[in-house]
Each structure stands twice: as structure tokens, then as C-alpha cells.
Amino acid sequence: MRILIVDDSAMMRAMIKRVIKLADVSVDEVFEATNGAEALELLKQHDFQLLLTDINMPVMNGADMLREISLNERWRNLSRVIISTDGSTVRREEAEDLDVRCYLEKPFSPEVLRDVLNELADSEFAETE
Amino acid sequence: MSSTNSPTVSLPKLSDPATASAMFEAVRSVAEHSFFAVAEPGDERSFAAQASAVPSWLVATVRFEQGALQGTVACTMPTSLARGLFDAFAGRDPSEPEPGAELVHDLVGEFSNMVCGAWLTRVASSRTFTLHHPIVEPVSTPRDARGPRLLAVIDDVPVAVEVTLKAEPQTES
């Protein structure tokens, strides 16, 4: 599995990478982007199976990036997870319209993200069996 | 979809006990879930004592917009606490090299970012918001409070959280 982490905080990206290592998922490569625009460029260059993204970021925020992704057939099978401080009901409803598999609200414990990753990996495996 | 960002809706001020309680819960939640730290309520006397005794502090200010409302949430903490929180967040082993100032600043910025988001979600969960990238400044002494602020103690170290609102709550005549 190739994973893309999108967050403007270097610390948060490092923390997510650490949790990925703890999860029971087979990972080929982990890429990082600091905003939605950078992420879209990486998505054009590589094939990813999982996108973990923040919402509030400079240059291009996560919601705008996810709208772009939802318009492109190439990224139809990309699993999308939001990891954001914004826990508002409006943002959660918006995420449903953008084919987001899981909405994880900051702060979260590493175990919660690890479980989400394991569940996603299990469901992907079940779908491809 | 309903008009959830109505400009007539306002955020309560930190002087309101329920709002202050929501802020403390936000701080406690961030400290416990992401930094494995214990947060307790603080007081002005112990904060003032530390303010003069601790030589190095960090202030992380997050600007937010919620509909027509704008404001900031600023968290002030000793640099020593920030380094401790860094170790907890990053899982740094004491034998590893000390993190540089840039990473510690990023950490305090993320702490404030999470506190701000958790607080806004608690006091106005029906409205979405925008958070801007945190601005982190090192200071030798915490600035005087410009208004009501929340004081907390994280792992026995004092922390201050100050909120400013640029759009005042509208009052009914």
C-alpha cells in the first residue's frame, strides 16, 4: 500500500508516520505533502491507495483538495481519511459527500488511528478477495 | 443545507463559566489524548510565580474564522514543558538528539491548533471554521492578560490560554 499524508504540521506528519509503522498494514511507501496543492501534484505522479489529510492548511485546504479528487475518475478507488481539529457537524456532512471513508477528530490517541488503519486494510483485503 | 454560518450567531466569551469550562475540557482532551499528559485547573497565583521564575516561554497563536466571527486562541507555556510534550508526542527516546527549536515551535503550534479546534467544536459544533497556520513566538516573560484567560496546569507546569474575539457578541435591545 502506498500512503499519502497531507498536513501542514511536520510534527503531526511524523506522528502519523509513526502510527503507520505500528499498524498491522503492509506499506510500500509513505509520501508527505504540506497542503492540498502539493498533494494533488503527488497524486498525479504516483498511485496511492490511502490518503490521510488535514482540513485547515495554507495554499489549498483539505476540503478543496478532496473536491478535486472526487471529480477525477483516476482517484475513484483512493481511500480517503480526514484527520482534523474541525469536528463540526457541517464539516462531517461535507465529508460524506466527498467519499471520505473515515473522519478522525484531533486530538486522537495513536491507538485510534492504528485501529482505523487496520480496519481499512482489512476491508480493502476483503473487497479484493 | 441550513444557514449554519449566520453572522448573527456569536461565540460566547471566556468570561462565561460554561465557555471557560469548554476551554478547559479542550485543553484536558488535547493534553491527555495526544500528549499523554495530565491537565488540571490552574490559578493566577501559581502562574504568576512561575512567570517570574521560568526564563523561557513559547506563545502559539492560532487565528480562526467562524462565519462572520474572527478571533485568536493563544497558548502560553514554558519551553521546558514544550520539550516534554514533544518527547511524548514524537515518542522520542532520551538517548536521541534533542529536537531543534523549529520542531518544538511546530509542536506548540499544533498543540494550540488542536486546543482551538476542540474548543470551537465544543462551543459551536453546528458551525464549521477555518484555522490559520499558528504563529509561534519565544518570549522571556508571559505577557499580561488582556482579558479573561484560562489557566491550567499540565504535568504540574502552568499554561495560559487566551481568547480574543474581533466580532463582539450582538446584544438584543
Task: Give dist(CA A48, CA B39) in Å, integer.
Answer: 39
Q: What is the CA radius of gyration of chain A?
A: 13
CATH number of the domain enclosing B68: 3.40.1550.10
B1 occurs within a structural domain: no
Those of residues 55-74 in A touching chain B at CB distance below 8 A are 56-58, 61
Q: Cβ B90–A11 below 8 Å, yes or no?
A: yes
What is this structure's pTM?
Answer: 0.87
| Domain extent at residue B112 | 17-167
**Confidence class of residue A125 from pLDDT cuts 50, 70 and 90?**
low
B11 occurs within a structural domain: no
B104-136 pLDDT tens trace: 999 999 999 999 999 999 988 788 889 999 999
CATH code, residues A2-128: 3.40.50.2300
User: Percentage of residues in chain B with pLDDT exceeding 90?
Assistant: 62
Burial class (CB in 10 A: 0-12, 13-18, 19+), B159: buried
B107 occurs within a structural domain: yes
B12 occurs within a structural domain: no
From the list B17, B27, B15, the residue with the least C-alpha distance to B158 is B27
| Cell numbers placing B149 | 484567560
Q: Cβ B125–A88 below 8 Å, yes or no?
A: yes
B1-38 pLDDT tens trace: 333 444 445 677 888 888 899 999 999 999 999 999 99
Kindly tell me if the per-residue pLDDT of A54 is higher than 70: yes
Q: Which of B1, B106, B114 shows the shortest C-beta gap to A107? A: B114
Contact list in B for residue A93 (CB cut-off 8 A) is 1
B75: which strand partners? B60, B161
| Cell numbers placing B173 | 435591545
B78: which strand partners? B57
Task: Give dist(CA A101, CA A79) in Å, integer.
Answer: 6
pLDDT value of residue B148: 84
Q: Cβ A11–B86 below 8 Å, yes or no?
A: yes
CA distance A93 to chain B (A): 10
Best B6, B75, B131, B136 member to test A by mutation, with max A CBs in 10 Å, is B131
Structural domain tally of chain B? 1
Contact predicate A86/B129, CB 8 Å? yes
B8 occurs within a structural domain: no
pLDDT value of residue A29: 95
- Residue B168 is classified by DSSP as P
CA distance B25 to chain A (A): 12
Domains of chain A by residue range: 2-128
B5 occurs within a structural domain: no
Task: Give dist(CA B74, CA B19) in Å, integer.
Answer: 16
pLDDT value of residue B5: 45
A34 touches chain B (CB under 8 A): no
Contact list in B for residue A57 (CB cut-off 8 A) is 133
A32: which strand partners? A5
